[in-house]
Amino acid sequence: MFASLRDVSLRGIKRLCLNNCFRCLSTAPGTFESNKKNIVLVDGVRSPFLLSGTSYARLMPHELARHSLLSLLRKTRLDKAAVDYIVYGSVIQEVKTSNIAREAALAAGFSDKTPAHTVTMACISSNAAITTGMGFIATGTFDTIVAGGVEFMSDVPIRFSRKMRSLMMKASKAKSLGQQLSLLAQFRLNFLAPELPAVAEFSSGETMGHSADRLAAAFNVTRQEQDEYALRSHALAKEAQEKGYFTDLVPFKVSGVDHTISEDNGIRVSTKEQLAKLKAAFVKPHGTITAANASFLTDGASACLITTEEKAKHLGLKPKAYLRNFTFVSQDPVDQLLLGPAYGIPKLLQRSGLTLKDVDAWEVHEAFAGQIVANIKALESDWWCKTYLGLSEKYGAPDINKFNNWGGSLSIGHPFAATGVRLCMHAANRLVREDGKLAVVSACAAGGQGVAMLLERHPAATAN
């Protein structure tokens, strides 16, 4: 055996060892060594991702989620009764369906005996849903999990002011005419000013766009670099769309819309000259974040099936990938709000015994072009890696030729809680089409948090 290994590359030896050590989850949190179960991503689907206010505008979010659940069952040909548990992510929640996982499951015809819960972790909510399912499987609590996420920005909850809400609550308890008149006397016209949800940090009050602008400035990311990256995202997404690579996308016939929605509608290939004409969107007039180099408000839903390799075989399913490892990170939500990948990627690879060169496909969430470039520059900075990662030198950046090769959130769209499944599915399908073995998924999230996940191509995987 050792004689034959002498002719194998170092990378080949490492992967040979990984095949033996990545057998299933161990009991240690976040480690995936020397285990008994192989957890697999069987398959996943998503609705077309649409700009908010377009063809999904009259729906409710649970209807989008219902579409993804039913689409997953049809694609996998799985009986509803085989699903043990459903976990869904949602960020800006419809108050009528706060546990949207349960409401969508019931609307999709799942048994009322199938438990379901909703998680929220900003842009990494469906990553959290997937890893929650992995935990259920690792502990032997459940075998077959559906995880996903939905976001509906066409209709967000808008509240009365707190003073008005307080007055209305008191009015509902007022019993006499005198009490009612007393409360009416307290009313002021400015009580009617509405409270709109904002993509802003509660702890700092700063919008994510302002944070992105400051991050870009801190890492000397130029407007030109951001526009060029945005152009790359749209061009690659358009190419992948035309080649039929988005096999996770399931067309949706929406009632009241005269055509079947079959494509993401935010992909627009422009020119450098056109992008250069746009004005700053947040820090005016000198900011570098614009409408073109930032992800847009998006409606969409996604769902995926995870189980053990043994269970998948029993059910006659062909998995896409092994879910090998994951980690969550968090840091300063003011100055380092969007640096989740720069923290998460080194931590994940170190824990997995891997280096950057071992990764064949990268799928990293594109909140802003400036955020992507800043994360890359952070990993390429000796000072930053020494100061914040405790390394002796720079960690190094992912190979751009393996990075988001089908576009990303800047072009495809970013329904907050649904993006994590899309990232995992593109990673798994790219491994097949690009003949790779290992993929890393990573994303930043509000609150200064982030995720990194390791996927390995399954021998039975196809890109269909």
Cβ neighbours of residue 76 closer than 8 Å, sequence gap 6 or more? 42, 43, 305, 317
Q: How many CB atoms lie within 10 A of CB 278?
A: 15
Exactly one of 24, 304, 424, 444 is catalytic; name it. Answer: 444
Exposure string of 48-85, with b = 16+ CB inside 10 Å and e = fewer, is bbbbbeebbbebbbbbbbbbbbbbbbebbebeeebbbb
Q: Bridge-partner residues for 261, per DSSP?
A: 252
- DSSP-derived 3-state class of residue 23: coil
Cβ neighbours of residue 136 closer than 8 Å, sequence gap 6 or more? 84, 85, 142, 145
9, burial (CB in 10 Å: exposed 0-12, middle 13-18, buried 19+): exposed
Max Cα distance, the chain (Å): 96
Listed residue (239, 232, 240, 246) closest to 422, CA to CA: 246
Structure tokens given for 378:
């952070």
| Known active-site residue 444 | yes
Distances (CA, A) of 344 to 33, 331, 402, 414, 454: 19, 11, 18, 20, 11
- Please give the helix or strand (H or E) that residue 329 lies within, else none: strand 321-330
Give the C-alpha separation, 424 to 39, whole Å. Answer: 14
The CA-based dihedral angle spanning residues 169, 170, 171, 174, taken in that order and rounded to the nearest 10 degrees: 140
DSSP-derived letter for residue 132 is: H
Exactly one of 24, 123, 304, 385 is catalytic; name it. Answer: 123
What residues are labeled active site? 123, 444
